[in-house]
Amino acid sequence: MLQISSATKYFKGQKIFSKLDLTVAKGCFHVIVGPSGCGKSTLFDGLTGVFPLDEGSLSWNHETLLSLKDHASYMQQKDMLLPWFSLLDNALLPAKTGGQDIKKATKQARSLFQRLGLKGYESHFASQVSGGMRQRCALVRTLMFNRDLILLDEPLSALDTITRRSLQSLLLLLQTEFKKTILMITHDIEEALLLADEIYLFSKRPMSISRHFVLDSPKPRKFNDPLLLNIKADVLDKLEGDLIHEQG
Amino acid sequence: MNRVNLLAVLFMGLILGLWEAFVRIMDVPIFILPPPSSIFVVALVRAPLILPHALVTLTEILMGIGLAVCTAIPLAIVMFAKPTLEKAFAPFLVASQAIPVFAIAPLLVVWLGYGIASKIFMAWIIIFFPICVSLLEGFKSCDPEFKVLFRLMGASFFKTLRLLYWPWALPRFFAGLKVGVTVATIGAVIGEWVGAQQGLGFLMIQSNARLQVDIVFAAILWLTAMGLAMWWLVGILEKKFITWK
């Protein structure tokens, strides 16, 4: 279980967020939705220890931690593939840097390539394949961390709508097939509705949780699920309200 | 590319043609400025005299380059790993470039002798700096987001160096090496001017004293050819190592 309690972060004396509480139970897929620039990525930087939190505590599986650096894998909007390595070698980076058994890791990576629709592209370079393929490879690399917790920072927002749809089903596999615990940031409400067990709706500065939705309809879900449509209307209402409030 | 090559050849032809015409029309004596045509002829006809000297100079330059590469790479890595050491070393590096090599060349000959060592050292001083600085700048230009990724993967400094920083800096390294190999000739030749028994610089001094200006120019022509060949070779190496661009 991932537990974040009273997380607080200042930047140049300005409060980005304070006393933020968030829990992700083991094996759950929680999604943070919020307007861009509200500080969602700053929260992730705090979790990963890039820019540590100023106050608050973190725990993973009841172990209190300073950061999730050694416990979480991380995927972001940019695919971050190195141009001098083939897709397979890129996927093997966590194995190479983390001192995993390379032979075993290669076998694992190859089977993940097959599972995520990259078979036949192992020796291609990032520059030779489409954005969707690159993001699939980044997803394989994320899995190759072999860590139970996955942080996703708008992983699909650089992709076109059609490619995004097909990758969303792969993100769902992280939970259903690979049994990972996932915390994802997105500003795509429909994406959140399709994937999330719980949605945290964030409001702008200082960032705070303005709404919390629990979605218990089974996955994979369809867009026209009336329950989802209800929540979607709710979320949009809330976001719009914030916007008007902000302008007023 | 062929168009560019053609332009380069045309431009070169124009300059040589003007030179040739100027010397012939003004009737400049050969010991003041020989025409390019006779320089080419002398460069080929006197090749048995020039080539052994060229070989010595080439050896000095190549060893200077080798020494510079072997020392610049570790120093760039150390300075990149420890920014405090970079601050400590930087003034000395800059100072090493500000010192006119002409001024210390006689001292180097006194210290290291008339042989090949003083020339290798001269070439090394000149080449070391561009390679070290460009490699360091290459390391530093690495995208911080990749550093974060490697940090999260738990990569050690040396693994990050091997898999991320080194390939990242490789284009800059080759840019520095290109500058290095072209100026390396200067170091070796100055070393030979000051005191040597062989080498193109030695040949130039000897020929100049005998008013054999055509041989001086022929030696310069061979030196230029060597510089161009090394530049071209580094370009080939660059293409071989940097396959992703």
* Domains of chain A, CATH where assigned: 2-71+148-247 (3.40.50.300), 79-146 (no CATH)
Say yes or no to pLDDT of A242 above 60: yes
Q: Is the dihedral of CA B110, B116, B122, B128 positive or negative?
A: negative
- In chain A, whose CA is at the least distance from the CA of B145? A80
Answer yes or no: is pLDDT of B218 > 60. Answer: yes
Is the model's pLDDT at B1 over the cut of 60? no
Partner-chain residue, chosen from A48, A78, A97, that has the shortest CB–CB distance to B159: A97
Q: Per-residue pLDDT averaged across B223-237, rounded?
A: 93
* Å between B157 CA and nearest CA of chain A: 10
Asked if B155's CB is within 8 angstroms of A82's CB, the reply is no
pLDDT class for A88, splitting at 50, 70, 90? very high
pLDDT at A30 over 70: yes
Q: What is the nearest CA distance from B239 to chain A, expressed in angstroms?
A: 13
- Residue given tokens 């290669």 in the structure block: A106
Cβ of A98 within 8 Å of Cβ of B155? The answer is yes
> Across all residues in chain A, what is the average pLDDT?
89
What single letter denotes the amino acid at residue B195?
G
The chain-wide mean pLDDT, for chain B, equals 91
Model confidence, pTM: 0.87
Whether residue B19 is found in the same domain as residue B114? no
B218 in the same domain as B126 = yes
How does residue A231 score in pLDDT terms, banded at 50, 70 and 90? confident
Residue span of the structural domain in which B24 resides: 1-31
pLDDT confidence tier of residue A16, bands split at 50, 70 and 90: confident
Q: Is the dihedral of CA B66, B67, B68, B74 positive or negative?
A: positive
Percentage of chain B beyond pLDDT 70 is 99
Distance CA B200, CA B216 (A): 9
Inform me whether the pLDDT recorded for A247 exceeds 70: no
Q: Between residues 129 and 148 of chain A, which touch chain B (CB distance below 8 Å)?
A: 145
Residues of A (26-65) whose Cβ lies below 8 Å from B: 48, 50
Chain A residues within 8 A of B155 when measuring between CB atoms? 97-98
Q: Fill in the DSSP letter of residue A7.
A: E
What CATH number does the domain containing B197 carry?
Answer: 1.10.3720.10
**With 90 as the cut, is the pLDDT of residue B102 above it?**
no
Q: Strands A208-214 and A198-203: what pairing?
A: antiparallel
User: What is the percentage of chain A residues whose pLDDT exceeds 90?
Assistant: 53
Average pLDDT of the segment spanning A92-96: 95
How many Å from the N-terminal Cα to the C-terminal Cα in chain B? 17
Flag the least confident range among A174-178, A242-246, B176-180: A242-246
Look up residue B153 and give its two tokens. 């993967």
What share of chain A has pLDDT > 70, as a percent? 98
Residue-wise pLDDT for A161-218, tens only, equals 889 988 999 999 999 999 999 999 998 888 999 999 999 998 877 888 888 999 888 8
Determine, for residues B146 and A69 on separate chains, whether the beta-carbon distance falls below 8 Å.
no
DSSP one-letter string for B131-193? HHHHHHHHHHTS-HHHHHHHHHTT--HHHHIIIIIHHHHHHHHHHHHHHHHHHHHHHHHHHHH
Model confidence at B3, pLDDT cuts 50, 70, 90, reads confident
Kindly write down the DSSP assignment for every residue of A113-156, as one continuous string. HHHTT-TT-TT-BGGGS-HHHHHHHHHHHHHHT--SEEEEESTT
> Which among A48, A93, A127 is the nearest to B244, CB-wise?
A127
Interface of A with B in 93-132 (CB under 8 A): 93-94, 96-98, 125, 127
> Among residues A168, A214, A207, which one has the least CA distance to residue A188?
A168
**B194 and B84 housed in the same domain:** yes
| pLDDT of amino acid B213 | 92
Same domain flag for B17 and B42: no
Complete DSSP assignment for chain B: -HHHHHHHHHHHHHHHHHHHHHHHHHT--TTT---HHHHHHHHHHTHHHHHHHHHHHHHHHHHHHHHHHHHHHHHHHHHHH-HHHHHHHHHHHHHHHHS-HHHHHHHHHHHH-SSHHHHHHHHHHHHHHHHHHHHHHHHHTS-HHHHHHHHHTT--HHHHIIIIIHHHHHHHHHHHHHHHHHHHHHHHHHHHHHS-SSSHHHHHHHHHHTT-HHHHHHHHHHHHHHHHHHHHHHHHHHHHH-TT-
Tell me the C-alpha distance between A72 and A70, whole Å: 6
Burial of A234 (0-12, 13-18, 19+ CB in 10 A): middle
Q: What is the mean pLDDT of residues A28-40?
A: 85
User: Hey, are the CB atoms on A84 and B243 less than 8 Å from each other?
Assistant: yes
Tell me what pLDDT residue A246 has.
Answer: 64
Distance from CA of A126 to the nearest CA of B (A): 10
Interface contact B160, partner A, CB < 8 A: yes
Q: What is the pLDDT of residue A102?
A: 93
pLDDT band at B143 (very low <50, low <70, confident <90, very high): very high
pLDDT exceeds cutoff 90 at B45: yes
Provide the ipTM: 0.88
* pLDDT tops 70 at residue A248: no
Same domain, B14 and B132: no
Strands A14-24 and A2-11: antiparallel
Same domain (yes/no): B68, B79: yes
Find, in chain A, the residue whose alpha carbon is nearest to that of B151.
A69
Spatial separation of the C-alpha atoms in residues A226 and A222, rounded to whole Å:
9
Split at pLDDT 50, 70, 90, the class of A240 is: confident
> Residue A47 carries which DSSP code?
H
- Does residue B84 or residue A99 have the better pLDDT? B84
Q: Is the CB of residue B239 less than 8 Å away from at least one CB of chain A? A: no
Distance from CA of B245 to the nearest CA of A (A): 8
Between these two residues, A11 and B237, which has the higher pLDDT value? B237
Spell out which residues of chain A touch residue B164, defining contact as CB-CB under 8 Å. Answer: 82
User: Are residues B150 and B109 located together in one domain of the fold?
Assistant: yes
Same domain (yes/no): B41, B18: no
Task: Report the pLDDT value the prediction gives residue A210, as an integer from 0 to 100.
Answer: 84
Q: Does residue B136 sit in the same domain as residue B225?
A: yes
Point out the residue among A78, A93, A145 whose CB comes nearest to the CB of B145. Answer: A78
pLDDT for residue B53: 95
Determine the pLDDT at residue B96. 80
Nearest residue, CB atoms, A96 vs list B152, B163, B167 = B163
pLDDT at B232 over 80: yes
Flag whether pLDDT at B161 surpasses 80: yes
Q: Is A68 helix (H, G, I), strand (E, B) or coil?
A: coil
> How many domains does chain B fold into?
2
Residue A66 forms contact with B (CB below 8 Å)? no
Question: Scanning every residue of chain A, which has its alpha carbon at the shortest distance from the alpha carbon of B162?
Answer: A97
Cα nearest neighbour of A48 on chain B: B152
Nearest beta carbon to residue A145 from set B153, B163, B167: B153
Distance from CA of B80 to the nearest CA of A (A): 20
User: How many cross-chain Cβ pairs, A to B, lie less than 8 Å apart?
Assistant: 48
Select the more confidently predicted residue: A155 or A243: A155
Judge if B204 and B140 occupy the same domain. Answer: yes
Phi-psi category of B94—alpha, beta or left, where left has phi over 0 and alpha has psi -120 to 50?
alpha
Task: Tell me the sheet residues that pair with A211.
Answer: A201
Does residue B42 have a pLDDT over 70?
yes
Same domain, yes or no, for B8 and B71?
Answer: no
Q: What is the structure's pLDDT at B224?
A: 92
Which chain B residue lies closest to A81 (C-alpha atoms)? B146
Whether residue B195 is found in the same domain as residue B235: yes
Judge whether B138 and B170 are in contact, CB under 8 Å.
yes
